[in-house]
Structure 1
Amino acid sequence: MSTNKKNDRNFITVECLLEFDMDEDKQKVLSLMRKFSSMVRFAYKRLLEGVERKELKKLLAQKYGINTRYSDSAIFLAQQILDACLQGGQNPKKLIFGSRVVFEKLKKKHLTGKRREKLRQKWEERRYGFLYSRGDKSKEGNLNLRLVNLDGQWHLRINLGNGEYVFAKVVRNAKREKDRWIDLVWDLTQAERTGNWFAYTVRLKLKNGKIYAQISREEKFPEITITRENGVIGIDINAYPFHLALAYTSRDGNLEKYERISLNGLLDGNADKREYLSWQVAHQIVEIAKREGKAIVVENLEKIPKGRRGDGMPKLRQKLQKWIYKGLLEKIEVVCKRNGVQLIKVNPAYTSVIGKLKYSPMLGIEKDVASAYVKGFLRITGNYSRTRSFWHML
């Protein structure tokens, strides 16, 4: 199970293996995946040229002869990729579908035999082996890629885009009692019985010659029961050493206590290890909030400063550019929602400076704790105007 986020909405994703009764059916789906992958690349290039969405739909229909819902999904996916490039500061004209890293390795030709063939297969599967269909509540969850129950076994009904359908068996064994697949199957069963459907998006991916389905739907959250009524915990990031400072603030704005959580483990190992450790830290922080009965205050993800030349924090700036901190805060937000803990976002502007110059000497605490305290103090008192006036007095 994984979680992704878009437009302040959270989605849960489960992955399943697809099995086909006939190889002919699998080949039809692979052909559709190659066509759809080409559609996304074509749509991406047209978006770069400034072609309007309405005109682009016509061009896709003429070129590929596939239904309009697949065209819509291809345009939507191409726009997402383009937006991600722009937000990440990348040149969208230099994007390589299938992974630039893998492509550059293939260009060097330093690998031979099976190792090179495996790398080439990986690149081709990433470039040509995917299919995507957005969910629609009014179309029994998803029109093109729909989950159906046939004689007690869940299948994915795949619309080939030309009026023909292929059915693939969904293979997913629940690994634990709280596996998200169990919840999904239950909700699908209830939807079939009552007709009250929910939207779910499906993405097919080719990996090592096998086709997997990733099924995503919006996550349901419990009501918030832990609020700032009992105070808050302000959180601040620091570079030397890389850690989080937590400042416990009472309901009237006084500092009660503080502690630190090391993040050094997030700088080592591969992406999977960092992802796992980030979730661990997120759960640790939320468990603290539940124990203390306090809300959590963090920096606004859209306004996290990346630093500036001469600020003396090049290493911190580098870490933030790698989105380590942002990714951690996103996970804290998700875990808060799942546990009914209020998460409050504040503008990080000036909080470090005010903490360092005012509250650190006043309270006899280090600047990292002081910065975390300022976030909590401002949220409790609501006196944001002091930040700007204090800054102008420096």
Structure 2
Amino acid sequence: MDRGAKEEKVTIKGKLVIDDNVKFAKLLNTMRQFRDAVELAHYLLFKKKLKESEVKRRLTRLLFNAWYGYSALKKAKLYQGQTRIKLRKPLLFSVGCRGAEKGNRNIRLLDTDKVLVKIPHADGNHEWIECKVKFGRKYLRLVKELISGKYPYSATITIKLRSRNEDWRKAFKKKLYLHLTIPLDLYLKYFSRKPKNKIVGHIAGFDFNVDRINMVIIDGKGIVRDIMNEYFPEVTSHGFPREKAKVIRQEKLAKLVKYASEHGVKYYVVEDLERPDGVKGKTGKWALRQYLQQMEVLVRKVNGVLVKVNPAYTSEVAKFISRDLGLDIHTASAYIIAKRGLINLQKP
């Protein structure tokens, strides 16, 4: 495994279609066992404080497959900060691998519309079930390259639910999805966009909030060249589906970055909030992490440069200068963030 810099990843998804009830039953049973294995791994790792090698050994005996055992261990480590976990729905996850395994050892693409899933058995006579998968047309060339085995890809089979109250047992057959986590460089090979205008070095500052995104574009002298804001107050309504809110935020942010790239922006400035503890409410922290993760991908897609600046006192300063600038506080914050980015870029 590479112990150097962490490789950036992107996830694409396709809808699984399984017409055979026997295959359904086998897959569901394996997904349930894997979910139980993840919960057990978390308990053994963080409650019992067992070594990873011992946890992996026990998971292998439970799942009858060493690679699924290793994958369950990796998944459990994502919940390290929690005292205990109880996963809502079954899932199946397999870490990507290089070499003769053609990208993945247990969940393997066979064609752009077919995938093989390994079903382990206690006697070691594992079997493969073939499932249909429907990816968006724009992803087909990328998927075809994954089939060649040149790139490793992690694969997750999950059930997509509209809300926390939806019963996965009723949605299982119609809401099965395959998520492929691939290297960002491969994704950009097919989806990197070239700006329509020549990059002239403008700077865009972004102020993120749960229900809005404010963007201010300035030039190299700090003069405001453009302002664009996106509002979506409906996502804060009680009971509004979290996944739907996530999609709305992603679409709005993508729209702003696209607009900026087409108007000469090279530098995209955000506040450096690695651990957004100062953000009020779980929803705010969750949304902010989404924004920052998506910015990493979007900026590279438009061949821009992501700049992170010190977030200290942004809101306080914005309150003082908003009246002088004739802007609301959030837009003033975006302006301050852009200015801080300019100052950072001017440093020798």
Q: Which digits, 9 at most, give the CA deviation of each residue in 1:63-104, with x for residues without a partner?
A: 527232121111111111x23xx2xxxx523x3232xxxxxx
The CA distance in 1 between the partners of 2:21 and 2:55, in whole Å, is 35
The yes-or-no answer on 1:252 pairing with 2:216 is no
Q: Which residue number in structure 2 is paired with residue 9 of structure 1? A: 8
What does 1:213-228 correspond to in 2, within 5 Å?
Answer: 213-219=178-184, 220-221=187-188
What does 1:30-109 correspond to in 2, within 5 Å?
Answer: 30-48=28-46, 49-61=48-60, 63-64=61-62, 66-80=64-78, 82-83=79-80, 86=81, 91-93=82-84, 95-98=85-88
The TM-score with structure 2 as length reference comes to 0.76
Q: Which digits, 9 at most, give the CA deviation of each residue in 1:351-392, with x for residues without a partner?
A: 2333434x446655544333222211121122899xxxxxxx
Instruction: Report if aligned partners of 2:63, 2:69 keep a CA contact under 8 Å in 1.
Output: no
Instruction: Report if aligned partners of 1:278, 1:331 keep a CA contact under 8 Å in 2.
Output: no
The TM-score with structure 1 as length reference comes to 0.68
Of 344-353 and 209-218, the range deviating more from structure 2: 209-218
The yes-or-no answer on 1:374 pairing with 2:336 is yes
TM-superposed CA distance for 1:153, in Å, is 7.1
| AA at the equivalent of 1:169 | E
Gaps of 5+ in 2: 1-5, 160-167
| AA at the equivalent of 1:280 | E
Q: Which residue number in structure 2 is paired with residue 311 of structure 1? A: none
Q: Which residue number in structure 2 is paired with residue 186 of structure 1? A: 144
| AA at the equivalent of 2:114 | W
The CA distance in 1 between the partners of 2:104 and 2:289, in whole Å, is 32
Q: Secondary structure at the match of 1:323?
A: helix
The yes-or-no answer on 1:200 pairing with 2:199 is no
Q: Which residue number in structure 1 is paired with residue 261 of structure 2? A: 290
Which of residues 86, 95, 103 in structure 2 aligns to 1:134? 95
Kindly tell me: are residues 319 and 284 of structure 1, through their superposed partners in 2, closer, same or farther at Cα, counting changes over 3 Å?
farther
Q: Secondary structure at the match of 1:258?
A: strand
Instruction: Report if aligned partners of 1:225, 1:341 keep a CA contact under 8 Å in 2.
Output: no
Kindly tell me: are residues 184 and 350 of structure 1, through their superposed partners in 2, closer, same or farther at Cα, counting changes over 3 Å?
same
| AA at the equivalent of 1:187 | E
The yes-or-no answer on 1:280 pairing with 2:251 is yes
The CA distance in 2 between the partners of 1:153 and 1:248, in whole Å, is 43
TM-superposed CA distance for 1:201, in Å, is 1.6
Q: Which digits, 9 at most, give the CA deviation of each residue in 1:162-205, with x for residues without a partner?
A: 54243333323455x42x2x13442145x1xxxx5211222234
What does 1:350-389 correspond to in 2, within 5 Å?
Answer: 350-357=313-320, 359-360=321-322, 363=325, 365-382=327-344
The CA distance in 2 between the partners of 1:10 and 1:280, in whole Å, is 19
Count of residues paired in the alignment: 318
Q: Please tell me whether Structure 1 or Structure 2 has the larger radius of gyration of its CA atoms.
A: 1
Kindly tell me: are residues 79 and 283 of structure 1, through their superposed partners in 2, closer, same or farther at Cα, counting changes over 3 Å?
same
Kindly tell me: are residues 55 and 384 of structure 1, through their superposed partners in 2, closer, same or farther at Cα, counting changes over 3 Å?
farther
Which of residues 280, 285, 293 in structure 2 aligns to 1:330? 293
Of 251-260 and 292-301, the range deviating more from structure 2: 251-260
Instruction: Report if aligned partners of 1:320, 1:326 keep a CA contact under 8 Å in 2.
Output: no
Q: Which residue number in structure 1 is paired with residue 132 of structure 2? A: 171
Gaps of 5+ in 1: 1-6, 99-125, 308-316, 386-394
Which of residues 154, 159, 172 in structure 1 aligns to 2:114? 154
What does 1:16-35 correspond to in 2, within 5 Å?
Answer: 16-19=15-18, 23=22, 26-35=24-33
Q: Secondary structure at the match of 2:262?
A: helix
The CA distance in 2 between the partners of 1:261 and 1:212, in whole Å, is 30
The CA distance in 2 between the partners of 1:350 and 1:199, in whole Å, is 43
| AA at the equivalent of 1:142 | N
Kindly tell me: are residues 319 and 233 of structure 1, through their superposed partners in 2, closer, same or farther at Cα, counting changes over 3 Å?
farther
For the aligned residues, what is the CA RMSD? 3.4
Which of residues 230, 234, 249 in structure 2 aligns to 1:265? 234
| AA at the equivalent of 1:250 | D
The CA distance in 2 between the partners of 1:331 and 1:368, in whole Å, is 20
Instruction: Report if aligned partners of 1:231, 1:252 keep a CA contact under 8 Å in 2.
Output: no
Of 159-168 and 247-256, the range deviating more from structure 2: 159-168
Q: Secondary structure at the match of 1:40?
A: helix
Q: Which digits, 9 at most, give the CA deviation of each residue in 1:30-71, with x for residues without a partner?
A: 44333333322221111122111022223334x527232121
TM-superposed CA distance for 1:285, in Å, is 0.6
Q: Secondary structure at the match of 2:150?
A: coil
| AA at the equivalent of 1:16 | K
The CA distance in 1 between the partners of 2:312 and 2:86, in whole Å, is 36
**Identity fraction in percent:** 22
Instruction: Report if aligned partners of 2:14, 2:135 keep a CA contact under 8 Å in 1.
Output: no
Instruction: Report if aligned partners of 2:205, 2:335 keep a CA contact under 8 Å in 1.
Output: yes
TM-superposed CA distance for 1:283, in Å, is 2.2
The CA distance in 1 between the partners of 2:97 and 2:114, in whole Å, is 19
Q: Which residue number in structure 2 is paired with residue 106 of structure 1? A: none
The CA distance in 1 between the partners of 2:158 and 2:325, in whole Å, is 55
TM-superposed CA distance for 1:254, in Å, is 2.8
The CA distance in 2 between the partners of 1:371 and 1:271, in whole Å, is 26
| AA at the equivalent of 2:118 | I
